Amino acid sequence: MVSLCYDTKVAGDPGGWKTLELVSRDYWWSQMSRCIGQYISTYDLCLRTKPIRQALVGKLHPLRIPDSHWDMLSVDFVVELPLSSGHDAVMTVVDSVSKRAHFIPTHTMVTAEGAARLFLHQV
């Protein structure tokens, strides 16, 4: 039904609202506008031929290469784990050069100040 009102050469890519109006003249089903919108947004020919309407991204710049171990770190939290020894989260600190990691048990509701304390005392 949607393809008859949208894909044909006679229809000429009428867009979302016009396609909805054309289909609703003869058909109706639950969540019809969502179904038509999804069909149009994933239609292969339109995806290949329509221009991209967003600003171009800038040039990529490589990351700085660290001078020594533990010079550049990444910190991440794994939260909402099963309770173990009173802790339900893990703070993960990884060195980007050696890929060595510290896993520090903590709580899901740790504050920024608490995370900084953990970092200073454990790493």
List the domain boundaries for the chain.
2-49, 73-122
Please count the CA atoms within 13 angstroms of the CA of 44 that sit on its side-chain side.
0
* Cα–Cα distance measured from residue 4 to residue 98, given in angstroms and rounded to the nearest whole number: 59
Q: Convert the pLDDT of each residue in 44-71 to its tens digit.
A: 677 666 777 778 888 888 988 888 888 8
* Cα–Cα distance measured from residue 77 to residue 109, given in angstroms and rounded to the nearest whole number: 11
State the greatest distance between any 2 C-alpha atoms of the chain, in Å, as a whole number: 71
Note the CATH architecture for domain 73-122: 2-Layer Sandwich (3.30)
- Output the pLDDT for position 32: 79
Per-residue pLDDT, averaged over 97-105, amounts to 92
- Output the pLDDT for position 54: 79
- Output the pLDDT for position 64: 84
| Model pTM above 0.85 | no
* Cα–Cα distance measured from residue 2 to residue 14, given in angstroms and rounded to the nearest whole number: 11
